Structure 1
Amino acid sequence: MTAKTSQVDSTHGVDRSELTQRLQMLLQPALFKDYGPNGLQVEGKSRVRRLVTGVTASLALIDAAIDAQADAILVHHGLFWRGQDGRVVGWMRQRLARLLAHDVNLYAYHLPLDAHAELGNNAQLAARLGVKRWQGEAGSFGDQQLGWIGDAAFESAAALASHVKERLDRTPLLVEGDGRQIKTVALCTGGAQGYFESAIAAGADVFITGEISEPQAHYARECGVAFIACGHHASERYGVQAVGQRLADELGVQHQFVDIPNPA
């Protein structure tokens, strides 16, 4: 487990209501049809001085936030999803019990955190890999226009995969396609393997996402467009950090990112 802390020394913090309003204004969840509730999922202390960010509201992250004396946690993957079992038992009971016992707020933003034009997962991954997004509508594709597409020059998909490994500190899975030079890169973080056909139609030479399923390997070989799966967790570590730092800069809260390793 690794952590990164901002240099802000906060003593006063911010009211929970102000933090909630700022997040809603920043990420605009009403613009998206999502798989679960975005925003404040578990209510805790009314004053927030320390904010911990992480990818998923796992028990390990919650415990790390409690150890860090956090008043609030901000994640990409929250506790509640459409269609899940609504009973508070097992892992759900454990996570909720910790949050409620320590009066910790839990915020979660899913698609809004993927999509933000500057701070989102796609934007942060593109910046990290050096992909320059096309301007306007041409720079988006897929359901709800969540996918990003733009320019980046690599001799081959293998060269790009090596670059991904260096930048994300994780060896990606590569299906090479037809071996063409890479000029146009499409990407969408997380479990966006279903966007591959849309990326092909948009003119990509390669598609980068977190996960791969069985059909995508065949599409890559048959269509010639390379596919790089760099890990769901690995591709989505950067947006929540960027949002946490923005809140620290604007609201004076103390921010710490905690990375809970995940092989998926």
Structure 2
Amino acid sequence: MGTSLDALVRWLDDTLQPGKFRDYCPNGLQVEGRAEVARLATGVTASQALLDAAADWDADAILVHHGYFWRGEAEPLVGMKRRRLATLLTRDISLLAYHLPLDAHPTLGNNARLGELLDIRDVAPLEPGDPTAVGNVGNFAEPLDGPALCARLRELTGREPLLVGDAQRQLQRVAWCTGAAQSYIGTALAAGADVYITGEVSEPTVHIAREEGIVFVAAGHHATERYGVQAVGEALAAAFPIEHRFFDCDNPV
């Protein structure tokens, strides 16, 4: 049982097409471990908690949405960064990370999976002129109001979403983008959305939602981005003779 690390990387690069994106971090193999992979752990962020859980499970490789080496961060490998890399290197575990490519994939991506789980139909890109755009717009299968939408998100994510705007308004047209995409609220307005769903909220977002008359929902950065990496891990386990396990290291943001 198992396959080569090179084969996994080729499949991921062919499927997620990272070369199409101008990202904030390197996509693909970030830390090289053993050449053969029998156990693949997945998670949202390559935190120490995820590394420890994967190492305890004897994972050969870890696939995440939020990896390392972000643009603009301090470069010295000290403190927390040293400890994380030491865990990977001493246990000979590979780290693979895909950021925007994992948001944008039309079937396995974070946005695609969240839209499917919310039963959104007639899905289209939020920015149709941009082939690498990560947001989407569509229609709920049946109109629903704010409390019903929040109840659906609460059941799905296990946490209480924040809603800004007219909670009793009937919502049909929906735009969404997982993670920290609150700045897309203007794009959602231009797309004719009744409601915009993302992970995080910032102070100006509240005023825009109130003054422009759009319902805004922040459902959690971590919570909205749990589904894409799981889908990719499951697809890899179907394509290769490997074992896959998703580790949900909770994050309230």
Into which bin does the TM-score normalised by the smaller protein fall? Answer: over 0.9
Is 2:242 the counterpart of 1:253? Answer: yes
Instruction: Measure, in 2, the Cα distance between the counterparts of 1:140 and 1:25.
Output: 24
Instruction: Measure, in 1, the Cα distance between the counterparts of 2:230 and 2:193.
Output: 28
Is 2:126 the counterpart of 1:146? Answer: no
CA offset at residue 132 of structure 1? 1.4
CA offset at residue 200 of structure 1? 0.7
Instruction: Measure, in 2, the Cα distance between the counterparts of 1:77 and 1:193.
Output: 18
Q: How does 1:162-241 map to 2 (within 5 A)?
A: 162-177=151-166, 179-241=168-230
Structure 1, unaligned runs of 5 or more: 1-10
Instruction: Measure, in 2, the Cα distance between the counterparts of 1:140 and 1:243.
Output: 23
* Alignment-derived partner of residue 113 in structure 2: 124
Contact 1:133/1:139 (8 A) holds in 2: no
CA offset at residue 139 of structure 1? 3.4
Which range moved further: 68-77 or 141-150?
141-150
Is 2:102 the counterpart of 1:113? Answer: yes
* Alignment-derived partner of residue 13 in structure 2: 24
Instruction: Measure, in 1, the Cα distance between the counterparts of 2:252 and 2:209.
Output: 23
2:173 maps to amino acid: T
Contact 1:178/1:225 (8 A) holds in 2: no
CA offset at residue 157 of structure 1? 2.0
- Structure 2-normalised TM-score? 0.96
Structure 2, unaligned runs of 5 or more: none
Contact 2:138/2:175 (8 A) holds in 1: yes
Post-superposition CA distance 1:227-259 (Å, at most 9, x none): 000000000000000000000000111000000
2:46 maps to amino acid: A
Q: How does 1:9-20 map to 2 (within 5 A)?
A: 11=1, 13-20=2-9
Contact 1:178/1:224 (8 A) holds in 2: no
Is 2:71 the counterpart of 1:85? Answer: no
- Structure 1-normalised TM-score? 0.92
Change (3 A) 1:178 1:58: closer
- RCO comparison, higher one (Cα < 8 Å, 6+): 1
* Alignment-derived partner of residue 231 in structure 2: 242
* Alignment-derived partner of residue 49 in structure 2: 60
Contact 2:145/2:167 (8 A) holds in 1: no
Aligned positions, number? 250
Instruction: Measure, in 1, the Cα distance between the counterparts of 2:126 and 2:4.
Output: 36
Post-superposition CA distance 1:169-226 (Å, at most 9, x none): 1110010247421010100000000111100111000000000000111111111110
Post-superposition CA distance 1:109-161 (Å, at most 9, x none): 00000000000000010011111143xxx533287421100010333122211
Which range moved further: 155-164 or 245-254?
155-164
2:179 maps to amino acid: G
Identity of aligned residues (%): 54
| RMSD value, Cα | 1.3
* Alignment-derived partner of residue 39 in structure 1: 28
